[in-house]
Amino acid sequence: MDYPVNFGETSRIAQPRSDRAAPVWTQVYPAQVAHHNLGGHVGRGGGYRWQSLLSMHFLTSVLKSIEPRIDDDFVDRLNYYYTSGVIIMMAILVSAKQYAGHPIECWVPAQFTKAMEQYTENFCWIQNTYWVPFDDFIPQRSDEREERQIGYYQWVPFVLAIEALMFYIPTSVWRFMNAQSGINILGVLELACDSRNIEPQNRLYTVNVLARHIDDALRYQRDFGRKERSVYLWAFIRIGKFYGAYVTLMYCFVKFLYFINVFGQFFLLNRFLANENTQFLGAHVVWNLLQGVEWQNSGVFPRVTLCDFDIRVLGNVHRHTVQCVLVINMFTEKIFLVSYTHLDVYKRQAYR
pLDDT digits (tens, 9 = 90+) for 279-303: 556 666 666 666 666 655 556 778 8
Query: Do 86 and 342 contact (CB within 8 A), yes or no?
Result: yes
Residue 197 — pLDDT band, cuts 50, 70, 90?
A: confident
- The domain tally of the chain equals 1
Overall average pLDDT of the 139-155 stretch: 81
Q: Cα(11)–Cα(190) distance, rounded to whole angstroms?
A: 12
Q: Cα(248)–Cα(254) distance, rounded to whole angstroms?
A: 10
CB neighbour burial string for 135-160, b if at least 16 within 10 angstroms, e if fewer: eeeeeeeeeebeebbbebbbebbebb
Q: How many CB atoms lie within 10 A of CB 221?
A: 21
Query: Do 251 and 73 contact (CB within 8 A), yes or no?
Result: no
What's the pTM value of the predicted model, to 2 decimals? 0.66
Comparing CA positions, the residue from 309, 335, 334 lying closest to residue 126 is 309
| Domain assignment of residue 53, yes or no | no
What three-state secondary structure class fits 119? helix
Highest mean pLDDT among 72-76, 307-311, 327-331: 307-311
Query: Do 261 and 316 contact (CB within 8 A), yes or no?
Result: no
Query: Do 296 and 285 contact (CB within 8 A), yes or no?
Result: no
Residue 276 — pLDDT band, cuts 50, 70, 90?
A: low
Q: From the centroid of its chain, how far is CA 152?
A: 20
Q: Does the pLDDT at position 327 exceed 80?
A: yes
Query: What is the pLDDT at residue 324?
Result: 92
Comparing CA positions, the residue from 150, 152, 151, 156 lying closest to residue 94 is 156
Residue 183 φ/ψ, nearest 5 degrees: -120, 125
Residue 21 — pLDDT band, cuts 50, 70, 90?
A: very low
| Domain assignment of residue 189, yes or no | yes
| Domain assignment of residue 30, yes or no | no
Q: Does the pLDDT at position 181 exceed 60?
A: yes
Query: Do 262 and 352 contact (CB within 8 A), yes or no?
Result: no
Per the model's pLDDT, the better-predicted residue between 224 and 89 turns out to be 89
What three-state secondary structure class fits 25? strand
| Domain assignment of residue 18, yes or no | no
Spatial neighbors of 217 by CB under 8 A, at least 6 apart, are 24, 182, 183
Q: Does the pLDDT at position 62 exceed 60?
A: no
Kindly tell me the burial class for residue 331, based on how many C-beta atoms sit within 10 Å of its own C-beta (0-12, 13-18, 19 or more): buried
Kindly tell me the burial class for residue 336, based on how many C-beta atoms sit within 10 Å of its own C-beta (0-12, 13-18, 19 or more): buried
Comparing CA positions, the residue from 10, 107, 116, 169 lying closest to residue 305 is 107
What three-state secondary structure class fits 183? coil
Enclosing domain of residue 112: 68-351
Sign of CA dihedral 230, 231, 235, 236: negative
Q: Cα(284)–Cα(147) distance, rounded to whole angstroms?
A: 20
Query: What is the pLDDT at residue 120?
Result: 92
| Domain assignment of residue 27, yes or no | no
Overall average pLDDT of the 189-210 stretch: 81
CA 199 vs CA 14, 189, 192, 196, 205: distances in Å: 21, 17, 13, 6, 10
Kindly tell me the burial class for residue 237, based on how many C-beta atoms sit within 10 Å of its own C-beta (0-12, 13-18, 19 or more): exposed
| Domain assignment of residue 318, yes or no | yes
Half-sphere CA count of 44, side-chain side, radius 13 A: 0
Query: What is the pLDDT at residue 311?
Result: 85
Overall average pLDDT of the 135-150 stretch: 81
| Domain assignment of residue 94, yes or no | yes
Highest mean pLDDT among 29-38, 176-185, 231-240: 176-185
Q: Cα(214)–Cα(182) distance, rounded to whole angstroms?
A: 9
Query: What is the pLDDT at residue 288?
Result: 66
What three-state secondary structure class fits 243? coil
Q: Cα(31)–Cα(322) distance, rounded to whole angstroms?
A: 70
Q: For 298-324, what is each residue's pLDDT tens digit?
A: 567 788 889 998 888 877 888 888 999
Overall average pLDDT of the 216-240 stretch: 57
| Domain assignment of residue 54, yes or no | no
Q: State the amino acid at position 94 in one-letter form.
A: V
Percent of the chain with pLDDT over 90: 5
